Amino acid sequence: MSGVKKLTEKFAELKEKGEKALVTYVTAGDPNLETTARLVCAMEQAGADVIELGVPFSDPVADGPVIQRASTRSLQGGTHLTGILEMVRGIREKVQAPLVLMSYYNPILQYGLEKFCQDAVRCGIAGLIVPDLPLEEAGPLLHSSQEAGLAYIPLVAPTSPQRRLARIAESGQGFIYCVTVTGITGTKQNVSNEIARMSGEIREVTDLPLAAGFGIAAPEQAKAVAPYCDAVVVGSALVKLVENHREDSLEPVASLTAQLKQALLRL
Ligand SMILES: O=P(O)(O)OC[C@@H](O)[C@@H](O)c1c[nH]c2ccccc12
């Protein structure tokens, strides 16, 4: 099944049940790929609906200190894109939740755009988020991902003007990632005001599901933003647990995942 279809079906299924999707993020290869594979399964079992895997990068400009440190640990362990795809291929039979890859543009460019998109889909990746690729330069990757059936998930920021939103949304598949704060991942701020305004503007230009992320760490925060979106993304709070508990992080990560999902049921 194409990645676009996998994501579309997942969101339709949740909508029918009246639930909001929980998207959980971890950096692949932190502390090693074996643990990442186990974390993916543990998060799915605990209630994650979509799982986002980060490709470590030396210059992660959109990331705050927690995910930057995870990137560094992963790179020190020798993680690379090929290894991540292999790990995903190894668990694809076990995992039903759509997997989304977050990667800066450089590793994808090095790998080769077309080959990357084909390999990613073949290994079981449903979608792709590339935080440092502006729409103006995304043409070739958009083309390759569409050919391969890999959902290209665009990011919109609080500073994106309305006419740009429409163009960004048009390029997107699967869902739109709405960055709720101006800044980096892990930023602590009151996110619900911004998302209320943004969600209205985005819904005017697209029917794609909306995911809200950046700065959401606790169940109460997830609950507060949920009315304005279709999915809530939590990254740094989980990565912090991985940092503190390393190979033993399955239990604490599953426990936070379950609490977050609980907050997104019966709204
Ligand atoms: O860490 P936070 O504040 O919970 O935000 C989610 C985020 O971690 C994840 O989606 C992500 C990690 N790195 C990114 C880079 C760009 C966009 C999104 C991301």
Q: What is the ipTM of this complex?
A: 0.99
Could you give the percent of the chain with pLDDT greater than 70?
100
44 given a catalytic annotation = no
Counting from 1 in the atom list of ligand 1, the atom nearest the Cα of 234 is 4
Which pLDDT tens digit goes with each residue over 129-168? 999 999 999 999 999 999 999 999 999 998 888 889 999 9
| Nearest residue to 179 (alpha-carbon basis) of 127, 129, 135, 253 | 129
The residue range of the domain holding 99 is: 3-265
By alpha-carbon position, which residue is closest to atom 4 of ligand 1? 235
H/E stretch holding 254 reads helix 250-263
- The beta-strand segments (E) located in the chain are 21-27, 50-54, 99-102, 125-129, 151-152, 155-156, 176-179, 210-213, 231-234
Give the CATH number for residue 187.
3.20.20.70
By alpha-carbon position, which residue is closest to atom 9 of ligand 1? 235
- Dihedral over Cα of 19, 101, 179, 207: its sign: negative
Counting from 1 in the atom list of ligand 1, the atom nearest the Cα of 186 is 3
pLDDT at 192 over 80: no
**What spacing in Å lies between the alpha carbon of 93 and ligand 1's midpoint?**
26
Torsion, Cα of 82, 100, 105, 31 (10° steps): -60
Q: What is d(CA 207, CA 118) in angstroms, rounded to the nearest whole number?
A: 27
**What spacing in Å lies between the alpha carbon of 27 and ligand 1's midpoint?**
10
pLDDT at 112 over 80: yes
63 given a catalytic annotation = yes
Scored b (16 or more CB within 10 A) or e, 77-92 reads eebbbeebbebbeebe
Band (pLDDT 50/70/90 cuts) for residue 191 is confident
Q: How many domains does the chain have?
A: 1
By alpha-carbon position, which residue is closest to atom 13 of ligand 1? 63
Q: What is d(CA 200, CA 203) in angstroms, rounded to the nearest whole number?
A: 5
Counting from 1 in the atom list of ligand 1, the atom nearest the Cα of 129 is 17
Identify the residues whose C-beta falls under 6 Å from ligand 1: 25, 52, 54, 62-63, 67, 102, 129, 131, 155, 185-186, 213-216, 233-236
What's the confidence (pLDDT) of residue 194? 84
DSSP-based three-state secondary structure for 99:
strand
By alpha-carbon position, which residue is closest to atom 8 of ligand 1? 235
- Dihedral over Cα of 31, 36, 41, 47: its sign: positive
CB atoms within 10 A of CB 5: 15
Question: Catalytic pick from 30, 49, 63, 119?
Answer: 63
Q: What is the mean pLDDT of the chain?
A: 96
Which pLDDT tens digit goes with each residue over 39-66? 999 999 999 999 999 999 999 999 999 9
Q: Average pLDDT in the 179-203 region?
A: 85
**Ligand 1: which of 53, 102, 175, 260 to mutate, judged by most atoms within 8 Å of the beta carbon?**
102
What's the confidence (pLDDT) of residue 24? 99
Band (pLDDT 50/70/90 cuts) for residue 207 is very high
What are the angstrom distances between the C-alpha of 43 and each of 69, 149, 169, 251, 254?
21, 25, 29, 10, 5
pLDDT at 107 over 80: yes
List beta partners, residue 54: 27, 102
